[in-house]
Homo-oligomer: A and B are copies of this chain.
Amino acid sequence: MGKEGKGNSKGNFQLKVPKGTRDWQGTDVVLREQIFSNLTEVFKRHGGVTIDTPVFELRETLTGKYGEDSKLIYDLADQGGEICSLRYDLTVPFARFCAQNAVLNIKRYHIAKVYRRDQPAMTKGRMREFYQCDFDIAGSYDPMLPDAEILRITKEVFDSLPGWEGKYTIKINHRKILDGIFQICGVPQDKLRTISSAVDKLDKSPWEEVRREMVEGKGLDPEIADKIWEYVQLKGGREIVTQLQNKPEVVANESAKQGLEDMALLCKYLDILDVLPALSIDMSLARGLDYYTGVIYEVVTEGSAPSASSKDVAKKEKKQKKSADPDEDRSNDPTIGVGSVAAGGRYDELVGMFSGKAIPCVGISFGVDRIFSITQARLDSSKVVRPNEVDVFVVAFGMGKDFTGLLPERMQVAKTLWDAGIKAEYLWKEKAKFQSQFKAAENGKVPWAVILGEDELKANKVKIKEMGLPKDHPEKDGVLVDMGDLVLELKARLARQRDEVALRPAAGNDAEEKEKEAEVEK
């Protein structure tokens, strides 16, 4: 794609996209599509199916689902007829879909844009239109089996991304354990959710600040706050579950007891599924949304989580004096915690809000825009990213005034390649000089050239040349083949090159698969 700087508008007209939105183009869109494809591959490996819901819903479908954040919903203008709003996330449309179709069970994934009329902050990746990628399991099953599957999927997703393996942590907690602990500490029933929200801020604020909010902001007894602090510092592997189960005051609480039994069973399953090494049980994880009823989790990665050192806090407090925006440090996506790249949990009541008939659900939402930025930063920048996928450029060789450009011959060869499924281009110029054709191939980073010459054509021959070979390479000048063998010769070379596919570090590697298959078939 050719470009020349920024475009200029005509007259007073503003040549731009709306605030908080963007065009995706070039190598950005190539990488993003590759990430989507990796995710989809994982989802399908676990039996996932996709659904596609409208971008707008009846406004009443969204009403009463997002609390405070409802003010961020984009409404369509009332032009007569139904009153509609753009979707705010993919979870509520999924719950509406399940209720409307009386779905008993489904494993569904959905990658699509959602809309929030938030104050955009591009530098922080907070947009008004952005992608979500959700995987959810609806249906009644034996305890913790779907939950374990979601976390296994989460592990496979991040392992499938280049540069991520071993560099992420799945933080997990359970609403029932958390509520039990709050009850044990003496938090009044009507303050459970608001204290939970305060605790959730511990990933970006120090305890002193959160304590102040609880005591001064929410009127909590300071002693109760200090008891909470004893519990929410707990963090670690599955031993945390045993530690808590060994405290008599904890297991005496029915909610905490149930939650810990869930968690113990989950850890047993995650051990078999090899997810435990990535897991951190974290009593300070609370998650903002009200609708979670069981396990909750979020994924953080190196550099994605903001530090909460006192220096940072001092900085932040200074900043807050200048700016009146309390959301300044809020991430793009409230369903994803600050600094996290994926988040979710069990929500057994949401579908029931629509149909009156509850269907247990558990799911996760991947913050694909943020995953995109981090992956891009981690990618080996020395790797050539091609602007398109063209494998072959068809070029005519010739010199002097009498050189016709061999346009019909170039078209004929391109046609033959397309018929065989090979990605090919030629220069759309009739009397094209050899040099300008060759340059077009180089500019497009096309790896192979098929070179036609008048003498070779008479002998029914054609040259295959790999682009960018060093000067001393034996095939620097290309290889002459019979026209009739062109497709087979090219396909063999392309198949060999395919093994260099960049974005497949984990399971399902094609090259590896092929080797193994070949072995089996011997």
The residues of A with any CB-CB pair to B shorter than 8 Å are: 1-10, 13-19, 21-26, 29-30, 33, 44-58, 60, 74-79, 81-82, 84, 86, 96-97, 99-108, 113, 115, 117, 129, 139, 141-142, 145-146, 148-149, 152, 156, 269, 272-274, 353-357, 387-390, 408, 411-412, 415, 418-425, 428-430, 444, 487-489, 491-492, 495, 507-509, 513, 516-517, 519-521
Cβ-defined contact, A23 with B141, below 8 A: no
Cβ-defined contact, A102 with B141, below 8 A: no
Q: How far is the CA of A159 from the CA of B345 in the complex (A)?
A: 45
Question: Which chain B positions have C-beta within 8 A of A274?
Answer: 415
Cβ-defined contact, B415 with A273, below 8 A: yes
Cβ-defined contact, A51 with B23, below 8 A: yes
Given A13-B60, A29-B51, 14 more pairs with CB closer than 8 A: A3-B102, A3-B104, A16-B58, A17-B100, A18-B56, A19-B82, A23-B51, A29-B52, A44-B388, A76-B76, A141-B428, A146-B428, A418-B507, A491-B513
Question: Which chain B positions have C-beta within 8 A of A52?
Answer: 23-25, 29
Cβ-defined contact, A495 with B517, below 8 A: yes
Question: Which chain B positions have C-beta within 8 A of A141?
Answer: 428-429
- Name the residue among A5, A13, A354 with the largest chain B CB count within 10 angstroms: A13
> Which residue of the partner chain, among B53, B58, B422, contacts A45 with CB atoms under 8 Å?
B422
> Which residue of the partner chain, among B4, B17, B60, B390, contacts A104 with CB atoms under 8 Å?
B4
Cβ-defined contact, B444 with A47, below 8 A: yes
A491 in contact with B507 given A274-B415, A390-B47 (CB within 8 Å): no
A166 to chain B, nearest CB (A): 16
Each complex incorporates copies of this chain amounting to 2
A227 to chain B, nearest CB (A): 37
Question: Mind listing 15 A-B residue pairs with CB under 8 Å?
Answer: A13-B354, A17-B58, A17-B100, A18-B84, A21-B54, A21-B56, A22-B54, A25-B97, A29-B52, A44-B423, A47-B425, A55-B129, A79-B117, A152-B415, A488-B517
Cβ-defined contact, B105 with A1, below 8 A: yes
Cβ-defined contact, A269 with B411, below 8 A: yes
Q: How far is the CA of A517 from the CA of B139 in the complex (A)?
A: 45
A492 in contact with B520 given A8-B356, A23-B52, A104-B3 (CB within 8 Å): yes
A46 in contact with B354 given A58-B16, A488-B516, A520-B491 (CB within 8 Å): no
Q: How far is the CA of A9 from the CA of B356 in the complex (A)?
A: 8
Q: How far is the CA of A44 from the CA of B519 in the complex (A)?
A: 32
Question: Which chain B positions have C-beta within 8 A of A97?
Answer: 23, 25
- List 4 tightest A-B contacts by C-beta distance, closest first: A421-B508, A2-B104, A21-B54, A141-B428
> Which residue of the partner chain, among B6, B9, B408, contacts A101 with CB atoms under 8 Å?
B6
Q: How far is the CA of A14 from the CA of B148 in the complex (A)?
A: 35
> Which residue of the partner chain, among B17, B57, B142, B517, contacts A428 with CB atoms under 8 Å?
B142
Question: Which chain B positions have C-beta within 8 A of A106?
Answer: 1-2
Question: Which chain B positions have C-beta within 8 A of A24?
Answer: 51-53
Question: Which chain B positions have C-beta within 8 A of A429?
Answer: 141-142, 145
Q: How far is the CA of A425 from the CA of B149 in the complex (A)?
A: 10
A162 to chain B, nearest CB (A): 16
Cβ-defined contact, A75 with B82, below 8 A: no
Q: How far is the CA of A1 from the CA of B146 in the complex (A)?
A: 15
Q: How far is the CA of A306 from the CA of B443 in the complex (A)?
A: 47
> Which residue of the partner chain, among B8, B48, B156, contacts A418 with CB atoms under 8 Å?
B156
Chain B's closest residue to A412 (CB) is B272
Q: How far is the CA of A148 from the CA of B492 in the complex (A)?
A: 29
A15 in contact with B508 given A23-B52, A428-B145, A517-B495 (CB within 8 Å): no
> Which residue of the partner chain, among B45, B156, B353, contacts A10 with CB atoms under 8 Å?
B353
A520 to chain B, nearest CB (A): 4
Question: Which chain B positions have C-beta within 8 A of A519?
Answer: 488
Chain B's closest residue to A487 (CB) is B516
Chain B's closest residue to A6 (CB) is B102
Question: Which chain B positions have C-beta within 8 A of A508?
Answer: 420-421
A46 in contact with B425 given A21-B54, A54-B21, A492-B520 (CB within 8 Å): yes
Q: How far is the CA of A16 from the CA of B101 in the complex (A)?
A: 10
Question: Which chain B positions have C-beta within 8 A of A488?
Answer: 516-517, 519-520
